[in-house]
């Protein structure tokens, strides 16, 4: 079979389906989500059996315990998916609103309407629940979606895709509005990335290898973050208690998340707080690495941080600490090493905070708060399709709005240009 042709066929079908979904009422789109929920419940046996086949193959192929856990679908996880569909259905309709409408000197009125993007291409690994979560957000925002999960989850994703089709059908929407790619061949990903005539946005979810491949090959715009090298800067005028609390939380509340602090910058004047902070981190099991000034202030640190540390997203209980002169050196370090994800300043000086908030060029910039707050749910978005470290279209945690576009709406009464 010609994979490129098969993918183009899926793209064409998705494009046609997208027009129908975009024109559907919010009641019909919400109904589709609730019908998919019912289909998931009805198809449980089939889904669990398909997942068992993936798990067996995974064990045979020597997948480690963490990967097998991510691959697993069970009754509890299906409960979460069903609950999630109901929650997305209950969210406000992100499309159709006209805003900023105002009259112009020519007599026309001009406003903008939020509209669906069109066709989304999701590329992800391991976790089959992404199939349902991503499809629900795309459909809620009036889009069609093509879903390409990992080959290790092909049976699970195909079964979940059948539930998507069953639900769409029951709601009277085209099944091509949410298609799971049936081919495991990696060439299918390449094809998906090179059909801008059918795909409006690619959303990759996975490890750095996946993201880098997508970035290198894609001819379609990508909503992605590659790294989360997040910084907390403890300013000369920080409250030491808040600083200790925020730094400890930003590192230890979870280690494997992209909004976890990887480097702590601390003003020279504050190094007196380092011994207690380092002790608390070490007691929690964090390996602390420091620059020379850090190690001088906290002799319990036995590893010197190198240039490689400032550029590394550990995703692990490791923290590098650097002593800086003040906010200028901190911002220069961030400009050089940050992945533009999330940075936070701890200070009681409102002017210093305002400078940091304005000048640091990251998706989320914080004052006296833990970087761990950088999250669509914590920001009140109601849902999160991903976090963007790019500066165009959507930035930071991305909810339903990131899956939409805007267009100008112009009204006249026979008006012509003079």
| Region binding a copy of itself by CB under 8 A among candidate stretches 63-71, 128-136, 204-212, 364-372 | 364-372
| Closer CB to a copy of itself, 45 or 417, in the complex | 417
Q: What residue has token string 């240039």?
A: 307
Q: Which is nearer to a copy of itself, 55 or 233 (CB)?
A: 233
**CB 276 to a copy of itself: min, Å:** 16
By beta-carbon proximity to a copy of itself, the closer residue of 99 and 302 is 99
| Window of 202-210, 224-232, 315-323, 362-370 that interacts with a copy of itself by CB under 8 A | 362-370
Q: What radius of gyration do the chain's Cα atoms show?
A: 24
Assess contact for 155 and 53: CB atoms under 8 A: yes
Tell whether residue 333 is a contact of a copy of itself (CB under 8 A): no
Least Å from the CB of residue 364 to a copy of itself:
4
Whole-angstrom distance, CA of residue 394 vs CA of residue 363? 9
What binding mask, one character per residue, do residues 397-416 give for a copy of itself by CB under 8 A, x or -? x-------xxxxxxxxxxxx
Q: How many residues bind a copy of itself (CB under 8 A)?
A: 65
CB of 63 to a copy of itself, least distance (A): 31
The secondary structure element, H or E, covering residue 54 is: helix 44-60
Please state, as a whole number, how many other Cβ atoms lie within 10 Å of the Cβ of residue 357. Answer: 14
Is residue 253 within 8 Å of residue 262, measured between CB atoms? no
Of 25 and 304, nearer to a copy of itself (C-beta) is: 25
Cβ–Cβ < 8 Å for 286, 278 = no
186-225 footprint of a copy of itself as x/- string (CB under 8 A): --------------xx-------------------x----
Residue 179 makes CB contacts below 8 A (sequence gap 6+) with 10, 13, 14, 144, 145, 146, 147, 161
- 268: its two tokens: 């020279």
DSSP classification of residue 222: B
Token pair of 87 as six digits: 């929650």
Q: Which of 241, 261, 274, 279 binds a copy of itself (CB under 8 A)?
A: 241
Binding positions for a copy of itself, 96-135, rule CB under 8 A: 96, 102, 104, 106, 108, 110, 113, 115, 117-118
**Using rule CB under 8 A, residue 160 touches a copy of itself:** no
Query: Residue 93 carries which DSSP code?
Result: P
Query: In which residue are the tokens 């009036």 written?
Result: 142
- In 3D space, the residue among 405, 409, 417, 411 whose CA is nearest the CA of residue 18 turns out to be 405
Least Å from the CB of residue 12 to a copy of itself: 13
| Two tokens, residue 227 | 């790294």
Instruction: Report d(CA 129, CA 138) in Å as an integer.
Output: 14
Residue 92 touching a copy of itself (CB under 8 A): no
Nearest residue (CB) to a copy of itself, 157 versus 404: 404
Output the smallest distance, CB 39 to a copy of itself, in A.
28
Chain centroid to CA 242: how far? Answer: 28
Q: How far is the CB of 78 from a copy of itself (least distance, A)?
A: 27
If residue 124 lies in a helix (H) or strand (E), which one and from where to where?
strand 119-124
Q: Which residue from 206, 311, 316 is spatially nearest to 254, judged by alpha carbons? A: 316
Q: Show the binding pattern over residues 291-330: x = contacts a copy of itself (CB under 8 A), - = does not.
A: ----------------------------------------
**Selection from 196, 53, 222, 197 nearest residue 122 by Cα:** 222
* Shorter beta-carbon distance to a copy of itself: residue 62 or 102: 102
Interface residues with a copy of itself (CB under 8 A)? 19, 22-23, 96, 102, 104, 106, 108, 110, 113, 115, 117-118, 200-201, 221, 239, 241-242, 245-246, 248-250, 253, 335, 344, 357-359, 361-370, 372-374, 378-380, 391-393, 395-397, 405-417
């Amino acid at each position: 079979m010609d994979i490129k042709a098969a993918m183009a066929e899926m793209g064409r079908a998705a494009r046609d389906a997208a027009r129908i979904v975009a024109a559907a009422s919010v009641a019909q789109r919400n109904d589709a989500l609730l019908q998919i929920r019912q289909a998931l419940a009805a198809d449980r046996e089939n889904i669990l059996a398909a997942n068992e086949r993936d798990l067996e193959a995974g064990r045979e192929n020597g997948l480690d315990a963490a990967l097998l856990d991510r691959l697993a679908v069970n009754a509890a996880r299906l409960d979460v998916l069903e609950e999630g569909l109901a929650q997305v259905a209950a969210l406000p309709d992100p499309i159709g609103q006209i805003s900023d409408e105002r009259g112009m000197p020519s007599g026309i009125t001009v406003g903008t309407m939020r509209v669906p993007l069109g066709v989304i291409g999701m590329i992800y690994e391991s976790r089959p629940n992404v199939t349902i979560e991503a499809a629900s957000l795309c459909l809620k925002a009036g889009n069609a979606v093509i879903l390409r999960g990992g080959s290790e989850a092909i049976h699970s994703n195909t079964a979940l895709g059948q539930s998507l089709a069953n639900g769409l059908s029951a709601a009277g929407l085209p099944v091509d509005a949410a298609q799971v790619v049936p081919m495991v061949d990696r060439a299918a990903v390449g094809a998906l990335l090179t059909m801008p005539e059918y795909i409006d946005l690619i959303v990759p979810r996975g490890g750095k290898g996946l993201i880098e491949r997508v970035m290198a090959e894609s001819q379609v715009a990508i909503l992605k973050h590659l790294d989360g090298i997040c910084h907390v800067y403890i300013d000369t005028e920080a409250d030491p208690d808040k600083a200790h609390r925020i730094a400890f939380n930003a590192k230890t509340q979870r280690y494997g998340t992209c909004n976890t602090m990887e480097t702590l910058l601390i003003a020279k004047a504050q190094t007196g707080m380092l011994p207690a902070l380092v002790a608390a981190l070490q007691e929690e099991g964090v390996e602390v690495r420091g620059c020379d000034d850090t190690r001088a202030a906290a002799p319990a640190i036995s590893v010197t941080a190198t240039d490689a540390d400032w550029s590394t997203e550990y995703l692990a209980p490791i923290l590098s600490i650097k002593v800086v002169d003040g906010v200028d050196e901190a911002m220069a370090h961030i400009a050089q090493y940050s992945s533009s994800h999330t940075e936070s300043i701890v200070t009681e000086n409102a002017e210093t905070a305002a400078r940091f908030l304005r000048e640091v060029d990251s998706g989320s910039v914080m004052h006296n708060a833990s970087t761990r707050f950088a999250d669509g749910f914590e920001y009140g978005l109601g849902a999160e399709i991903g976090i963007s470290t790019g500066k165009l279209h959507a930035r930071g945690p991305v909810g339903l709005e990131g899956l939409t576009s805007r267009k100008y709406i112009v009204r006249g009464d026979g008006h012509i240009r003079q």
